[in-house]
Copies of this chain bind each other. A is one copy, B any other.
């Protein structure tokens, strides 16, 4: 069993809400964290997503035939990565012993809509790559920050799920 600080604190675990469950087996706390969301279409482009009582509105801009009530799915993907890099960035800075007063990030990617649109193409459907510029507010030197960056990238769950293959199993209900 892998040790987990989340697995060791009953009080903390209770606060994680219904979508975040620590599995227990044989009286030992297992480290798996479960996350889940529910979603429904409000119209063909607008999706309402619910996670632990938080509501997220996803839509497409009018130029992509949407109703423009929220950021779109590929912008949400960038947002997920930004949020993850912030959290892990602060954890790693603390471990490395330097003061991080804040982070600013810019993320972007290009995608070819051909596959999305149903064209016969060898192009992939999603971003070809994702570029991130990260500006930490800190006095740490460049050498320290390079090490910090490498560590963040490898430990961020979202960057792992994007950079490396993650099976998606879709079933009809």
Contact = CB atoms under 8 A, between A and B. Distances in A.
Counting every copy of the chain, the complex holds 2
Measured as residues with beta carbon below 8 angstroms from the partner, the interface class of chain A is 35 or more
Interface in A104-135: 104-119, 121, 123-135
A97 interface: no
Contacts of A142: 172
Interface string A21-46: 00000000001111111111100111
A3 interface: yes
A144 to B, nearest CB: 11
29 contacts: A4-B112, A5-B117, A6-B117, A9-B63, A14-B63, A16-B64, A33-B110, A33-B111, A33-B112, A35-B74, A36-B78, A37-B108, A40-B103, A41-B86, A41-B89, A41-B104, A44-B87, A47-B83, A49-B83, A51-B71, A79-B80, A91-B118, A116-B157, A129-B168, A132-B171, A134-B172, A159-B168, A163-B166, A163-B167
